[in-house]
């Protein structure tokens, strides 16, 4: 399949809709001032074909998409022991709810809600991972140097009381081993990574390749089984409280972030990334989801 | 792929485990007296290959598997209007919880929790469907005459106070149009349908065939899009509060019932059904899930 | 203290406010058509002094005030065994919530939420109480013949799906012994009793008299300890989700109903009843609470 | 009434029960090593009569009883503005639950749950109150110098992750104005105040005296109305999730702490304090409640 014309047609269809709906995340200034009228899409197939359209090379704050990569590192290094601290079920609640965390004694429902990603960050710290290691991992995966947006990281820290509440709450149940300040510092930084669609489409490439590194001659990123299981988690838990709707209408494993990016995977075929900053009421990119629906419809690619 | 030896090897591996764990549903006598030491598996591929092993021809109470078929009828007849009354998100709560139903003003999270299936039954009644129509549909799909187990239906009715509570609760929010007694009567009967693994593997065949009837020369059961969307709902919501784990470890759309049956679909390839009556703590067949994990592992068939 | 001028002054202060706020209960026509511009107040002291003002002799639907009297009958006949099925804690939730009922396995938090009163009705049925016995009790307490409003009872039954849900839900936990239809029939009828302020001030008289019958030469209604404990339950649980505020601003045990009546008790001194149909957002009579606040302020009577 | 023989008889009846049930708070070592076999009781009437028995002069950690005094300071200084940030309703949930706090957007249900007391501490900081001011207030009220137990304060801080979670969570809703660390530092210190039964019976004296200082010739502690309202809050919210039961069986306003102390008030008559370290499942002193029940029974003093 030749994907470039498909991406071009999606870009053409989405572009007139930019600025017409949704709301750019505004809880910190650095996110609030991103123009809503942006749309980018990029993909890379397993056999190396690339395509991109729109603002595919404009960097944005990857936010919760980072949870995909910290999870991958933790799964690779800890194996099934990771699941002693974190569940694998959809939350059935808004992404930062404390209710279920209380009912389940500080064990987050899955690694993609905030509490779960904070618990993953705690595991990584215990394994010796530091912020620099995460950047090195992202750079290695995308083939280009990746950095934090320090302003975003500082703003996350300055306003992140709810995440501090989550971390302290889990700590009160004995489910966080490291110092809370260190754990949330890593978490706030991972959310503040800046990347563009092309880089994220590259970086997620191991998920459609049975865990193999997307670029030639590099070591394995995850086992084949782990890569497929991460796809399963993306499908059931990757898009906040809209995972069921996304599976229903798009049918691909996705992980979104409030910066407006969404990474999607077609197993054994390709990885892609869309970006448009205005969010729907679930916190997912409104036009990003629309673009993925167009993509699934035009290519017929769906896991179902 | 030749599936018969694979099913035989799964049967051989499962059989020594029968009776060694899990708990047969015991809320009504007719289910409680089913021997735990039963295991059956059957499949049918899109090109007509069949395979079966163990107690594949022993009939059992399909229970919540029936929700798959009432949903199909309602989607086909109502289209997207169905979703005004029923959501498409995993529930994040045990399957008969009232909490989320209250928070969401009587709109069930999805059609596979009890409240959702009762709401589907109400829609079917409004469309003129009666119990006999459901039996005719199941018979048409499986190619053999299908009947209710009247003892099970009577017992469900005699003990079904929680389902009556759900129906009355939704009615108090104006989300049930028909008489509560008629709605739960249809619901209790659909749960009391008796079928075996071979029949269910046949009946679910439209889900791997883009909605086409599994047997030759019959009319379409659902549109291609609807069939794929039902698969998506099965994956995210089909196995009670274990949907995330099932997606993670098996990677196939499944719908289970407390009678011990599980229907699974490999899109574009095959439909299958396993049955073993002892349930795990989530209400899914313990060895049924184990068998599906073996099947996915040995065939490499997974949607991820 | 001469109470007649105090009640007159309260009536004079409240009357200009009638029709200026709150909302008459409108879930059934017979309640919805009660004019909002009504206010009555009546009291009777332990030594037999009586006072009344405004619409004190206009009958209204006592609704949840009836829960006070069914509780009294059940406590007198069952003693502490009653509390095996019903708690004594404020609910911390709107009065018809199912959430806490689920968390506590079908045991209602207290006898004044709907679920608790339905559980009390079930206990009364098991003790042989019938609707006629309840009317006889109310007549005996108030010294005048008391009757049901049949139209209200029929409307409650025709729209009472939420109460049916509560009853079926408790039955599913084994906490209701009698037929659900019989239980809610008694409950719907007790809510449909018609009385006026004078009658209710009489009927509640045993609560300020250590359980002695309010009228001369009759047998004891409750033990002294039971009467004081009922007062305690009224204070902590008697005014839906506003019990804390009512204790804080009025400082007297009260039991309200959505018909707009509120019974209050000054232990060892007097019982009184106010009525005004427009309700605040908590379901309590807006001007009834205001009148009680004026009464407590002007008389200095408070339990604190 | 001569109270000394009554307290002696209660002490005699309670003493054989010491060490026979309940559990000393063990979340920090300094509390865990308090011997369970302690019981003290002391009271002071409005006309200056004093009585005491048992370990009435042994100091203990007042813990949540401190909430009574910080509330008093905040009410006196802020008046009704305090209630913009804090509710006055029983919580219907264990004392440190986050659920209701989330549902109500960071506004605690009442000033006696941990979240509410932390919000009160924040208000006091904004008013310029410091730890030393609180000690001066307690010393002034009890007529003796009062101090913090520094070991307890340090341990509270070292293990107080759940309270940090509460404070951060409220801050995320904009309901905490000061630095979280400063707020919880004040809160942890107030919990670590050491006093004995005699001192606490003195200190609570303004609550039965219409707000007048318990010792001669001092300024008013609270207005008469405020004092009575604090009593109302104690009754409805003062004993964790057992307030309804305490009102039912004891019938007096009480405030308890996990150090085993309970302050109770008989309005217009006396203030008293009991102490016994072993707690029941609600977190209230098991034998402290038993002693109060005996006291209410023998004296006939009850507000109902």
CATH number of the domain enclosing D169: 3.40.710.10
B136 touches chain C (CB under 8 A): no
In a domain, B304, yes or no: no
Residue B255 tokens read as 């719908």
On the question of pLDDT at A61 being above 70, the answer is yes
CA dihedral B285, B289, B291, B295 (to 10 degrees): 150
D172 touches chain A (CB under 8 A): yes
Report the alpha-carbon distance of residue A238 to residue A283 in Å, rounded.
11
Of the residues D64, D142, D155, D285, only one is catalytic, namely D64
Of B175, B191, B207, the one marking the end of a domain is B191
In a domain, B256, yes or no: yes
In a shared domain, residues C200 and C52: yes
Nearest to C109 among D92, D237, D304 (CB): D92
Closest residue in A to B101 (Cα–Cα): A92
Nearest to D162 among A162, A169, A180 (CB): A169
Domain count, chain B: 2
pLDDT, averaged across chain B: 95
Residue B27 CB coordination number (10 Å): 12
A77 touches chain B (CB under 8 A): no
Q: How confident is the model at residue B95 (pLDDT cuts 50, 70, 90)?
A: very low
Neighbours of chain D (3+ CB pairs under 8 A): A, C
Of B191, B207, B232, the one marking the end of a domain is B191
C164 touches chain B (CB under 8 A): yes
**A64 by DSSP, 3-state: which?**
helix
In a shared domain, residues D56 and D199: yes
Report the alpha-carbon distance of residue D258 to residue D24 in Å, rounded.
8
CA-to-CA separations, A92 to A89, C277, D240, in angstroms, rounded? 9, 40, 30
**B161 by DSSP, 3-state: which?**
helix
In a shared domain, residues C262 and C219: yes
pLDDT at B97: 67
Residue A31 tokens read as 């996110």
C residues 88-107 lying closer than 8 A (beta carbon) to B: 97-99, 102
Sign of CA dihedral B215, B219, B225, B230: negative
B50 pairs with which residues across the strands? B44
Nearest to D169 among A165, A171, A180 (CB): A165
Give the minimum alpha-carbon distance from C167 to chain B in angstroms, rounded to a whole number.
7
In a shared domain, residues D177 and D112: yes
**Predicted confidence (pLDDT) per residue in C75-113, tens digit:** 999 999 999 999 999 987 654 567 778 888 999 999 999
**Predicted confidence (pLDDT) per residue in B148-207, tens digit:** 999 999 999 999 999 999 999 999 999 999 999 999 999 999 999 999 999 999 999 999
* Residues near B264 by beta carbon (within 8 Å), at least 6 away in sequence: B250, B252, B253, B254, B271, B272, B273, B274, B292, B295
Catalytic residues of C, by residue number, are 64, 67, 187, 240, 258
In a shared domain, residues D206 and D271: yes
CB hemisphere CA count around D2 (13 angstroms)? 4
Phi first, then psi, for residue A159 (nearest 5°) are -120, 5
Long-range contacts, A127-132 (Cβ 8 Å, 24+): A127/A74, A127/A77, A127/A78, A129/A73, A129/A186, A130/A186, A131/A185, A131/A186, A131/A189
In a shared domain, residues B146 and B74: yes
Give the minimum alpha-carbon distance from A34 to chain B in angstroms, rounded to a whole number.
30
Give the minimum alpha-carbon distance from C215 to chain D in angstroms, rounded to a whole number.
21
- Chain A residues whose CB is inside 8 A of the B243 CB are 89-90, 236
Catalytic residues of B, by residue number, are 64, 67, 187, 240, 258
Of the residues D24, D34, D66, D67, only one is catalytic, namely D67
Contact state of A164 with D166 under an 8 Å Cβ cutoff: no
Per-residue pLDDT of chain D (304 residues; tens, 9 = 90+): 899 999 999 999 999 999 999 999 999 999 999 999 999 999 999 999 999 999 999 999 999 999 999 999 999 999 999 999 999 999 876 545 677 788 789 999 999 999 999 999 999 999 999 999 999 999 999 999 999 999 999 999 999 999 999 999 999 999 999 999 999 999 999 999 999 999 999 999 999 999 999 877 678 999 999 999 999 999 999 999 899 999 999 999 999 999 999 999 999 999 999 999 999 999 999 999 999 999 999 999 999 9
Contact state of A304 with B231 under an 8 Å Cβ cutoff: yes
In a shared domain, residues D78 and D141: yes
Residue C302 tokens read as 């408070």
What DSSP string runs through D215-273? Answer: STTPPPSS-HHHHHHHHHHHHHHTTGGGHHHHHHHT-S-EEE-TTSEEEEEETTTEEEE
In a shared domain, residues C49 and C110: no
In a domain, B287, yes or no: yes
> Which of A79, A232, A292 is best to mutate for the B interface (most B CBs within 10 A)?
A232
Contact state of A98 with D99 under an 8 Å Cβ cutoff: yes
Give the minimum alpha-carbon distance from A79 to chain B in angstroms, rounded to a whole number.
14
Contact state of A168 with D180 under an 8 Å Cβ cutoff: no
A residues 208-227 lying closer than 8 A (beta carbon) to B: none
In a shared domain, residues C56 and C70: no
* Residues near C137 by beta carbon (within 8 Å), at least 6 away in sequence: C69, C73
In a domain, A91, yes or no: yes
Contact state of C233 with D248 under an 8 Å Cβ cutoff: yes
In a domain, B147, yes or no: yes
- Yes or no: say if B196 and B144 are a contact pair by the CB < 8 Å rule: no
Name the E strands within chain D. Answer: 23-24, 40-45, 50-54, 60-61, 147-148, 193-195, 254-256, 261-266, 270-275, 278-279
Report the alpha-carbon distance of residue B92 to residue A104 in Å, rounded.
12
In a shared domain, residues D183 and D213: no
D126 annotated active-site: no
Report the alpha-carbon distance of residue D145 to residue A47 in Å, rounded.
80
pLDDT at C40: 98
Nearest to C184 by CA among C150, C154, C149: C154
CB hemisphere CA count around C274 (13 angstroms)? 29
Contact state of A172 with D180 under an 8 Å Cβ cutoff: no
Report the alpha-carbon distance of residue D73 to residue D54 in Å, rounded.
31
In a domain, D304, yes or no: no
**Predicted confidence (pLDDT) per residue in B240-251, tens digit:** 989 999 999 999
On the question of pLDDT at C252 being above 70, the answer is yes
Nearest to A164 among D97, D99, D168 (CB): D168
Give the minimum alpha-carbon distance from D50 to chain C in angstroms, rounded to a whole number.
21
- Chain C residues whose CB is inside 8 A of the B98 CB are 98-99, 102, 165, 169
Contact state of C165 with B161 under an 8 Å Cβ cutoff: no
The whole-number average pLDDT for the span A13-28 is: 95
In a domain, B277, yes or no: yes
In a domain, C22, yes or no: yes
- Chain D residues whose CB is inside 8 A of the A162 CB are 168-169, 172
In a shared domain, residues C31 and C97: no
- Chain A residues whose CB is inside 8 A of the B247 CB are 232-233, 235-236
Name the E strands within chain C. Answer: 23-24, 40-45, 50-54, 60-61, 147-148, 193-195, 254-256, 261-266, 270-275, 278-279
A residues 256-295 lying closer than 8 A (beta carbon) to B: 267
pLDDT at B219: 82
Nearest to D72 by CA among D278, D222, D283, D240: D222
Report the alpha-carbon distance of residue B112 to residue B240 in Å, rounded.
8
Neighbours of chain C (3+ CB pairs under 8 A): B, D
Q: What is the 8-class DSSP label of residue D281?
A: T
Contact state of B97 with C102 under an 8 Å Cβ cutoff: yes
Give the minimum alpha-carbon distance from A222 to chain B in angstroms, rounded to a whole number.
14
Neighbours of chain A (3+ CB pairs under 8 A): B, D
pLDDT at B93: 64
Closest residue in B to A111 (Cα–Cα): B244
D205 touches chain C (CB under 8 A): no
Report the alpha-carbon distance of residue C34 to residue C31 in Å, rounded.
6
Of C135, C162, C191, the one marking the end of a domain is C191
Closest residue in B to C176 (Cα–Cα): B161
Query: Quick one: angle between helices C3-14 and C286-299, nearest 10?
Result: 140
CA dihedral B162, B167, B168, B169 (to 10 degrees): 90
Report the alpha-carbon distance of residue C212 to residue B118 in Å, rounded.
51
* Residues near B145 by beta carbon (within 8 Å), at least 6 away in sequence: B139
**Predicted confidence (pLDDT) per residue in D257-297, tens digit:** 999 999 999 999 999 999 999 999 999 999 999 999 999 99
Contact state of C89 with D267 under an 8 Å Cβ cutoff: no
Contact state of A98 with D162 under an 8 Å Cβ cutoff: no
Give the minimum alpha-carbon distance from A252 to chain B in angstroms, rounded to a whole number.
9
Among residues of chain B, what percentage have pLDDT more than 70? 98
Give the minimum alpha-carbon distance from A299 to chain B in angstroms, rounded to a whole number.
14
Range of the domain at B135: 64-191
Q: What is the 8-class DSSP label of residue D285?
A: B
Nearest to D225 by CA among D206, D245, D204, D211: D211
The whole-number average pLDDT for the span B129-158 is: 96
Q: Give the Cα-Cα-Cα angle C75, C76, C80 (nearest 5 degrees).
A: 45
Residue B300 CB coordination number (10 Å): 8
Contact state of D244 with C303 under an 8 Å Cβ cutoff: no
In a shared domain, residues C176 and C84: yes
On the question of pLDDT at A244 being above 60, the answer is yes
């Amino acid at each position: 399949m030749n994907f470039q014309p498909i991406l071009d047609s999606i870009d053409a269809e989405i572009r007139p809709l930019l600025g017409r709906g949704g709301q750019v995340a505004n809880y910190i200034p650095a996110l609030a001032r991103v123009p809503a009228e942006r749309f980018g899409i990029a993909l890379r197939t397993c056999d190396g074909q690339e395509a991109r359209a729109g603002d595919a090379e404009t960097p944005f704050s990857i936010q919760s998409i980072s949870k995909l990569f910290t999870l991958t590192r933790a799964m690779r290094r800890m194996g099934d022991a990771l699941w002693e601290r974190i569940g694998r079920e959809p939350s059935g609640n808004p992404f930062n709810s404390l209710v279920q965390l209380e009912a389940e004694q500080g064990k987050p429902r899955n690694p993609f809600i905030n509490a779960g990603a904070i618990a993953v960050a705690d595991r990584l710290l215990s394994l010796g991972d530091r912020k620099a290691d995460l950047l090195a991992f992202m750079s290695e995966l995308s083939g280009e140097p990746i950095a934090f947006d320090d302003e975003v990281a500082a703003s996350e820290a300055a306003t992140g009381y709810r995440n501090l509440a989550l971390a302290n709450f889990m700590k009160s149940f004995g489910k966080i081993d490291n110092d809370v300040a260190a754990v949330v510092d890593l978490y706030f930084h991972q959310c503040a990574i800046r990347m563009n669609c092309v880089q994220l489409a590259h970086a997620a490439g191991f998920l459609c390749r049975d865990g193999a590194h997307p670029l030639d001659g590099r070591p394995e990123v995850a086992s084949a089984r782990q890569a497929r299981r991460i796809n399963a988690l993306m499908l059931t838990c990757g898009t906040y409280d809209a995972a069921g709707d996304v599976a229903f209408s798009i049918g691909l494993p996705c992980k979104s972030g409030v910066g407006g990016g969404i990474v999607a995977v077609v197993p054994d075929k390709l990885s892609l990334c869309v970006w448009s900053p205005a969010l729907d009421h679930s916190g997912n990119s409104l036009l990003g989801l629309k673009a993925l629906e167009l993509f699934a419809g035009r290519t017929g690619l769906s896991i179902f």
